[in-house]
């Protein structure tokens, strides 16, 4: 009798006699048999059925469920290249679940975390592999890296099966020259410039939108520096009853942050924010605030779970375009803000939330409280539930202009209105049923309206 643990054990009793079948690696073992004659045919039939089941189960390749959490997994490509395996639509029907998560890197690319979770006969096996992409990588380069990582992670699940004899490996030949990594001549610095435009119109109206942005960053394992800027310009023109109406909304701004990590839990740094907004009656606003962060979970676990608190306290200098409802044209205000961020990513789905309180210190009644939620849940086989929402309690609209403005400015979002709250939400429910083993990929006529 093998000393290894069997996949399952079947025991039957007849009076005081025990009939046991141990099944392991596609073979069956009779540990102890004492057959009671009247039941011998029934028990032989049970034994034959079990052996047939094991033989059939070992003939089929493992079933795979590709679980992608807010990341593109190139499903059709992966299914086509791994047609050896059976892909199913529900994680509870799979033998191997592949959970893919990604995080943005300092260079603008992504780090993918690929978790391999075994079910059924593989429930004792699990592994995690990672790979990184660059911002300049094409989709073909990304999907090939993903496929390569998935292939590597599947190997341990095939070692003890008959399918392992069909697996081939290719290792690169060793080069004679030095294989030390090339020195990074940019020393982690990354620069990004972007711009976009949109124009549309009819005989009696037109709309123009222009946007530009830039970003300079340096992200190392222990520190992060980011400086970015933007400019958005929206111009609308309408002709109503022969009268031409024009509304412009221009805003631009800059922001910067620096943070230094001291451990897996503590970090310190600071923020700078500056912006101009016609909509918010702000000629220009500057704010500077040092900050401290505490992470309940080690920061290295952020791809699967996070619970962080960030506290900042600073000064805001704001110059208004028009006199405010508080008869101010310019003021210097102290403030503080605390933000809590919680998130988990699991095979059943993901959940994230952010709660934030911003308060002016000169007047505690001037504050804003905000809450954001994002939830995705695989309720059961084929049933998906998604929800996202946000809400804010607003008590700090200090920049509201004393003048009411024109109706056109208000209707076309050219002027901010007083409010005490703001909210928004989205939700979705999707149910799929039918075959769980369809691996066929057919792209014919795809993308045609």
Residue 346 β-bridge partners: 349
pLDDT of residue 440: 55
Q: Is residue 302 predicted with pLDDT exceeding 60?
A: yes
DSSP assignments along 73-138, one per residue: --HHHHHHHTTTSEE-S-GGG-SEEEEEEEEE-TTS-EEEEEEEEE-GGGTT-EEEEEEEE-TT--
Cβ atoms 286, 317 nearer than 8 A? yes
Question: pLDDT digits over 377-402, tens only?
Answer: 877 766 778 899 999 999 999 999 88
What is the CATH number assigned to the segment(s) 63-161? 3.30.160
Q: What is the pLDDT of residues 170-205, one digit of tens each?
A: 766 666 454 455 566 778 788 889 999 999 998 888
Cα separation, 33 vs 255, whole angstroms:
77
For residues 265 and 308, the answer to whether their CB atoms sit within 8 Å is no
**If phi over 0 gives left and psi between -120 and 50 gives alpha, with beta otherwise, what is residue 4?**
beta
Render pLDDT for 55-103 as a digit per residue (tens, 0 to 9).
444 557 788 888 887 788 888 788 888 888 888 877 888 889 999 888 8
The confidence band for 311, taking pLDDT boundaries of 50, 70 and 90, is very high
User: pLDDT band at 123, cuts 50/70/90?
Assistant: confident
| Distance (Å, whole) CA 140 – CA 72 | 12
Sole residue written with tokens 């934030």: 356
Tell me the DSSP string of 15-39. TTEEEEEEEETTEEEES-----GGG
Token representation of residue 27: 């073979």
Predicted confidence band of residue 409 (pLDDT cuts 50, 70, 90): low
Comparing 17-26, 123-132, 164-173, 216-225, the range with the smallest average pLDDT is 17-26
**Per-residue pLDDT for 268 more than 60?**
yes
> How far is it, in rounded angstroms, from Cα 268 to Cα 262?
8
- Would you give the end-to-end CA distance of the chain in angstroms? 63
Beta partners for 226? 217, 257
Least confident range of 196-200, 331-335, 388-392, 427-431: 427-431
Q: Which of 11-15, 171-175, 257-261 has the highest mean pLDDT?
A: 257-261
**Domain range summary for the chain, segments of one domain joined by +:** 8-59, 63-161, 220-227+251-431
* Contact between residue 254 and residue 229 where contact means Cβ atoms under 8 Å apart: yes
Q: What are phi and psi of 320, to 5 degrees?
A: -95, 150
For residues 152 and 268, what is the distance between their CA atoms, to the nearest angstrom? Answer: 38
Residue 23's pLDDT is 37
Written as six digits, the tokens of 419 are 């409010």
Q: Which of 30-34, 287-291, 352-356, 378-382 has the lowest mean pLDDT?
A: 30-34
pLDDT band at 15 (very low <50, low <70, confident <90, very high): very low
Triad 44, 49, 50: Cα angle to 5°: 100
What is the mean predicted confidence (pLDDT) over 26-41? 41
CA distances from 434 to 382, 426, 431 (A): 9, 27, 10
- What are the backbone dihedrals phi and psi of residue 444, each rounded to the nearest 5 degrees, phi first? -60, 135
What pLDDT score was predicted for residue 185? 75
- For 122, the 3-state DSSP assignment is helix
Cβ proximity of 332 and 313 under 8 Å:
no
Query: Minimal CA–CA distance to 85: which of 170, 147, 145, 8?
Result: 147
Pair 220, 226: CB distance under 8 Å: no
3-class SS at 169? coil
Q: Helix (H, G, I), strand (E, B), or coil: what is residue 144? A: helix
Question: What is the model's pTM?
Answer: 0.65
Percent of the chain clearing pLDDT 90 (strictly above): 33
């Amino acid at each position: 009798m093998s000393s290894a643990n069997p996949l399952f054990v079947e025991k039957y009793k007849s009076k005081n006699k025990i009939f046991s079948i141990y099944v392991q690696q596609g073979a069956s073992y009779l540990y102890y048999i004492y057959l009671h004659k009247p039941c011998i045919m029934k028990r032989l039939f049970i034994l034959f059925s079990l052996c047939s089941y094991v033989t059939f189960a070992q003939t089929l390749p493992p079933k795979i469920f590709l679980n992608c959490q807010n990341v593109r997994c190139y499903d059709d490509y992966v299914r086509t290249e791994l047609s050896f395996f059976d892909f199913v639509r529900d994680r509870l029907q799979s033998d191997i679940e592949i959970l893919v998560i990604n995080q943005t890197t300092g260079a603008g690319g992504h780090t993918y975390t690929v978790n391999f979770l075994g079910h059924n006969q593989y429930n004792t096996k699990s592994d995690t592999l990672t790979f990184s992409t660059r911002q300049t990588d094409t989709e073909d380069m990304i999907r090939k890296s993903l496929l390569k990582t998935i292939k590597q992670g599947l190997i341990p699940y095939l070692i003890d099966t008959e399918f392992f004899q069909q697996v081939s490996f290719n290792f690169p030949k060793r080069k004679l020259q030095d294989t030390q990594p090339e020195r990074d001549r940019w020393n982690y610095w990354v620069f990004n410039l972007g711009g976009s435009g949109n124009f549309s119109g009819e005989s009696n109206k037109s709309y123009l939108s222009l946007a530009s942005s830039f970003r300079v960053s340096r992200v190392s394992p222990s520190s992060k520096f980011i400086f970015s800027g933007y400019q958005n310009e929206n111009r609308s023109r309408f002709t109503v009853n022969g009268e031409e109406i024009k509304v412009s909304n221009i805003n631009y701004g800059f922001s910067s942050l620096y943070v230094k990590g001291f451990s897996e839990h503590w970090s310190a740094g600071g923020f700078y924010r500056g912006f101009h907004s016609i909509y918010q009656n702000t000629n220009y606003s500057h704010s500077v605030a040092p900050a401290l962060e505490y992470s309940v979970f080690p920061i290295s676990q952020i791809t699967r779970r996070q619970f962080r608190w960030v506290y900042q306290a600073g000064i805001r200098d704001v110059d208004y375009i028009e006199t405010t409802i508080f008869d101010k044209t310019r003021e210097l205000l102290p403030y503080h803000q605390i933000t809590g961020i919680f998130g988990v990513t699991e095979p059943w789905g993901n959940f994230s939330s952010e709660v934030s309180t911003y308060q002016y210190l000169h007047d505690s009644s001037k504050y804003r409280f905000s809450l954001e939620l994002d939830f995705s849940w695989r309720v059961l086989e084929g049933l998906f539930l998604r929800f996202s929402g946000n809400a804010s309690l607003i008590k700090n609209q200090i920049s509201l202009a004393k003048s009411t403005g024109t109706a056109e400015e208000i209707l076309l979002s050219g002027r901010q209105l007083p409010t005490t709250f703001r909210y928004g939400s989205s939700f979705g429910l999707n149910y799929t049923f039918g075959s769980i083993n369809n691996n066929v990929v057919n792209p014919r006529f795809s993308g045609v309206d």
